[in-house]
Amino acid sequence: MPEGLENGRRWDLIQKIMENSDSKLPVSFWAHWILRFVLGLTFIWASWHKIINPGEFAKIIYGYGVFPEISINLIAIFLPYVECLAGICLITGILPRSSLLVINGLLAAFIILIGFNLFRGHSFDCGCFSVSDTPGNAAWSLLIRDFLLLWAGVYLLSRLKSPVNMRNTQRHQI
């Protein structure tokens, strides 16, 4: 079996560095890991209150005024678990591409919803990190925060190696 391959899989950066104790982890590795950790933890933290209190979260979703009533309870129950699972997967490195696609999709949807409600002058509670009944006055700061998080997600996604490219690279190394 060629060096660097085990069970048809390529050794990742950490395993290679562990073999060579004289090497140091590059700064970009730590920067990417910190971004993954912050983005994943943000989604886990945001999902916590929604998981505990889906009824209050359903009221917040209703307050957006854009979803059909029949879908509100389903969204209030399903969405927090998707956020939590995507955050956990991103932090642990399990299916990082899929978790980043989910997180980036959610952030894009949040940006559209917040922007739409700002455009129509609707006062609403975003329901991001709590399920309180106080409408948020800082909707522009929500947009800025979500754009920054989306930038981090897109950056991380652009730095992941494509599975197709990894397969081609492995074939050329053999």
DSSP state of 95: S
What is the per-residue pLDDT across 34-65, written as a single tens digit (0 to 9) for each? 999 999 999 999 999 899 999 898 988 888 88
Whole-structure pTM value: 0.73
Q: Lowest-pLDDT range, 48-52, 87-91, 126-130? A: 126-130
Q: Which two tokens mark 140?
A: 């522009």
* Residue 12 DSSP label: -
**Chain mean position to CA 94:** 13
Whether the predicted pLDDT of 74 surpasses 60: yes
pLDDT at 173: 45
Domain extents in the chain: 28-173
Distances (CA, A) of 76 to 54, 58, 62, 79: 6, 5, 10, 6
* Pair 93, 46: CB distance under 8 Å: no
Q: How far apart are CA 125 and CA 127, in angstroms?
A: 6
Mean pLDDT of 17-46: 77
